[in-house]
Chain A
Amino acid sequence: MSEWTERTELSAYMARQRWFGQAEGEVAITEVRELEWLSDPADGLGVRFELVFAGSLFNVPLSYRRHPREDLSYGFIGASALDGEVFYVYDALHDPEARGILVRGFVDGVVSPADIDYSRLEGFCLEADGDSVLLSAEQSNTSVIVGDALIKFFRKLAPGRNPDIEIQAGLTLLGSEQISPLLGWINTGDIDLAMIGVFQRTATDGWDSARASVRALQDDAVRAREAGGDFAAESERLGETLALVHEQMRETLPTASWGPEDVAALVGRLNERLDAAVAMHDAVGAYAGRVREAYAAVDSAVPIPVQRVHGDFHLGQTLRTTSGWKIIDFEGEPAQPLEDRVRLDSVDRDLAGMLRSLDYAAHSVTIALGVESHEYVDDWVRRNRVAFLDGYGYEASESSAALLRAYEIDKALYEVVYESNYRPDWVQIPLRALERLL
């Protein structure tokens, strides 16, 4: 029906968005797949999902307005002709009216076009004409709050069930109280476009809570356990929460056991990532020998129980709510291919993720304050590591300790590369961690 004559304007807009990623230079759009209209542009406002191929596949819902809207200028993309008539095109998620149209399929009695499904879990119905609010400051997705629900629009798309939907649907049906229940999702064919869940209104993320604790500590001149802002009981409850979620994932999703060959394959993958890190960052080379030794210490003779895991577990994926901790975002590492994100793994992957995150939270405060002293911060990290593992019910043995350590090292190496590229000031955090781990 329409032809994007101004693709350059769309590519320029996409290049400015955080969700597009760090690719530099121009965005080459090779194809745009337009889904059916959710509202008819003949009425003055047309809204539809458009799937844009630009290196990867992106989800770009657009609104077409007959008249320009001054107050929406930050979401303005360009002008386009539909059947010979000029329309002003906006990022639909920045257009309050268009947002209402995008989520209308969740309202009782609304019929959606044939090429798009609004799936709802039992009992859920969105109220018609609810106000919506766009959440700011998100990296890879764009989220909107409507009433008591949070709708997350995936920006980077891939065929196949999104692991976040898959896992949260399983845990929701199980009645998990440790996640924010899933309410439904939007898909076109085998591509998932968005998911909707309960909005945790009173929540703040674990990253902010942990940092508040560390900040309180630096003023106290006491040990972490005596400090007013002590976080250990929270870390312990966070460990308990993760243990419950892991148990629920075992109950509702596949499990397996890794034998010697699988463990060897794991060590192989870890070494490959090490090689890549060495190639990308000079400082890593100095650790390579010791890292390989640490990986070699993972005992292939001891079987490793594996299951679906969170895959990208850190403080930013936890919400402190008035009814305890909730764990969110089960997508895995967004940068990895889907195959890696759904791979069964040891729960130690998630434990290591949180241990690294506690270390990060603590040391990020000293960086923000510009202080050199690490002693009280190291004390905080030790105390909270122990509390988290206690809460989880982690039982250390020689072989399990080697595996957890290997995962921690792997994560720290990834951090070294990442920080060198984007936040050189922060690279000292994972480097110090490597010193400690090796």
Chain B
Amino acid sequence: MDEVGKGIDRTDVDWFKSAVFYEVLIRSFRDSSGDGVGDLRGLTEKLDYLEWLGVDCLWLPPFFPSPLKDGGYDVADYTAVAADIGTMADFQEFLDEAHSRGIRVVIDVVMNHTSDQHPWFQASRSDPDGPYGDFYVWNDTDEPYADARIIFVDTEPSNWTWDPVRQQYFWHRFYSHQPDLNFENPAVHQAMLDALKFWLEVGVDGFRLDAVPYLYEEEGTNGENLARTHQFLKKVRKYVDDNYPGRVLLAEANQWPADVVDYFGDPAVGGDECHMCFHFPVMPRIFMGVRRESRYPISEILDQTPEIPEHCQWGIFLRNHDELTLEMVTDEDRDYMWKEYASDPRMKANIGIRRRLAPLLDNDTNQMELFTALLLSLPGSPVLYYGDEIGMGDNIWLGDRDGVRTPMQWTPDRNAGFSQATPGKLARPVIMDPVFGYQAINVEAQQASNSSLLQWTRRMIQARRQHSAFGRGTFFDLGGSNPSVFSYLREDGDDVMICVNNLSRFPQPVELDLHQFNGSHLVEMLGGVEFPAIGELPYLLTLAGHGFYWFRIAGPALTEGSVA
């Protein structure tokens, strides 16, 4: 056990509050075996790169045995590694190597449902009276829980599907090949805790809990955010805290922040459910703010975001493996977003399909930098999506989810340096178009160029690391005279940062009320240049189109001779 977790400080239980996360798809990152599919050994090979980039924690989407009808979220065995990406020994080696670099690893756990290929489901349908007979939600009719909405309306006519083997309907909030587990059954609780225990013993640093709002069903409710779902999460949290302190639970609750905040648990004890929750609405609002050249879409959502318990943190992201969705919001917000997005053909075209950051921003480096600067400075722990640090493109012709899961582009060589396989053998083709193709966009070229997006992103991550205000500080919207400029204060004790972002493509002036810092001056973070002292009058700044500043507030300027 001593070897497990070496390099990781288990006494630092709040590490996630200031960590930079990186979502990496094993099958698309690096293929060490030459079979055309990325694997664990390939990921291990690339840990040096991730350490160099400066990320603190990797998030691995499901890599378990699975029929892969839902990108691996259809799990057929919770406690094994899919054969095509490696073995348990490979995983252990990867984890130890990550830990020795100080990089933590969070894995995905799908609690709500399993694949219909999971042995539990096969046993449940064929032997209703057996030990797994009550593991799923079975019923003789498809009438109960009629108030629960159908999430995948395009493919699923009902939340109930008839099983010809058991001659009953089974309940599923997502695809009909993903039956929901029955959390009324204590044996399901135990089976889930056993699965978590398995990976905690291996040494993982936490779990992203997929689709948590839907664990329980209750007649007359919409089946989301029910009290017993929260009770179960409290049970999971207590188990993890008691036995494996310093591990993190990160909830995917695609809901309005006021509802999501419940998944942190009781504020009086600093939170007793999930340590982290994704903040979903902030992402489409950033896109809208820049599109509208107005700070209000972003200001508003942050203003409406409730306080969270002390030992908790939001997870924020620009892009991930899912689509740009408007589905997570209240009716009122959906109206607002539709009004703003749907009338705009440019924006509408991007709803509901999976795009990467760079193509969404017309491959405009200034905008990519602005978006990344926002991601790294807004309240919450940033989650980067693999490849976005070099501005990778997508392949919308690959359909469903694969368009943003193309192989990581390492070099201008064959298969982008991803694999030695014959190109035709790759599970997903590399991107080859003239703008985003691997000959133009790859890690090797960008590491060699100081002005590349990759080097810039790395410098920003380093700058972020030097200031606790970003991870742990308060957030204060500075307002300001110009609606196109979004400015805020991040403050953690003596560490005070001012971030000023021009959401417009045109140069803009802004006057900020900084009189509370009268006598101090601003130091720009990337270059260390001292800006004029702050006085009582509004502080005037000018910004280039899509420009931004990170300032540190420093005491009165030192003049020559003033140091004794």
Contact = CB atoms under 8 A, between A and B. Distances in A.
Interface of A: 96, 131, 133, 136, 145, 201-204, 208-209, 212-213, 215-216, 219, 225-226, 228-230, 232-233, 236, 320, 322-323
A209 B482 CA distance: 8
B531 to A, nearest CB: 20
Interface string B492-531: 0000000000001110000001011000000000000000
A203 B302 CA distance: 14
A212 B505 CA distance: 11
Given A204-B482, A320-B483, A212 B516 contact: no
A209 B303 contact: no
A212 B479 contact: no
A228 B346 contact: yes
B339 A233 contact: yes
A226 B296 contact: no
A145 B480 CA distance: 14
A106 B536 CA distance: 23
A201 B484 CA distance: 16
Given A136-B537, A228-B291, A323 B300 contact: yes
A219 B505 contact: yes
A216 B293 CA distance: 8
B504 A212 contact: yes
Given A133-B536, A226-B345, A233-B340, A322 B482 contact: no
A96 B536 contact: yes
B292 interface: yes
A323 B304 CA distance: 9
A131 B515 contact: yes
Contacts of A209: 294, 483
A355 B303 CA distance: 30
Contacts of A233: 336, 339-340, 343
Given A96-B536, A202-B303, A215-B506, A229 B292 contact: yes
B377 interface: no
Contacts, number: 76
Given A233-B339, A322-B299, A323-B300, A212 B346 contact: no
B483 A322 contact: no
A283 to B, nearest CB: 34
26 contacts: A131-B516, A136-B537, A145-B513, A201-B479, A204-B480, A204-B482, A204-B483, A208-B483, A212-B293, A212-B294, A212-B483, A212-B484, A213-B293, A213-B294, A216-B505, A219-B505, A219-B506, A226-B344, A226-B346, A228-B292, A229-B293, A230-B292, A230-B340, A233-B336, A236-B339, A322-B303
A136 B515 CA distance: 14
Interface string B460-473: 00000000000000
A203 B481 CA distance: 8
Nearest to B537: A136
B537 A322 contact: no
A209 B299 CA distance: 14
Given A136-B537, A204-B481, A208-B482, A322 B505 contact: no
Given A202-B299, A208-B483, A322-B477, 13 more contacts: A208-B481, A212-B483, A216-B506, A225-B343, A228-B291, A230-B343, A236-B339, A322-B296, A322-B299, A322-B300, A322-B302, A322-B304, A323-B300
Given A215-B506, A228-B344, A204 B479 contact: yes
A347 B480 CA distance: 32
Interface string B366-407: 000000000000000000000000000000000000000000
A216 to B, nearest CB: 5
A208 B508 CA distance: 12
A216 B506 CA distance: 8
Contacts of B336: 233
Nearest to A71: B536
A233 to B, nearest CB: 5
Given A131-B516, A226-B345, A216 B482 contact: no
Contacts of B482: 204, 208, 212
Contacts of A216: 293, 504-506
Interface string B334-352: 0010011001111000000
Nearest to A203: B479
A320 B483 CA distance: 9
B324 to A, nearest CB: 16
Contacts of B537: 136
Contacts of B344: 225-226, 228, 230
A323 B296 CA distance: 9
A213 B293 CA distance: 8
A392 B345 CA distance: 26
Given A233-B339, A320-B296, A133 B513 contact: yes
A166 B344 CA distance: 42
Contact of B515 (A133, A201, A213): A133
Nearest to B345: A226
Contacts of A133: 513, 515, 536
A178 to B, nearest CB: 16
Nearest to B511: A136
B342 to A, nearest CB: 11
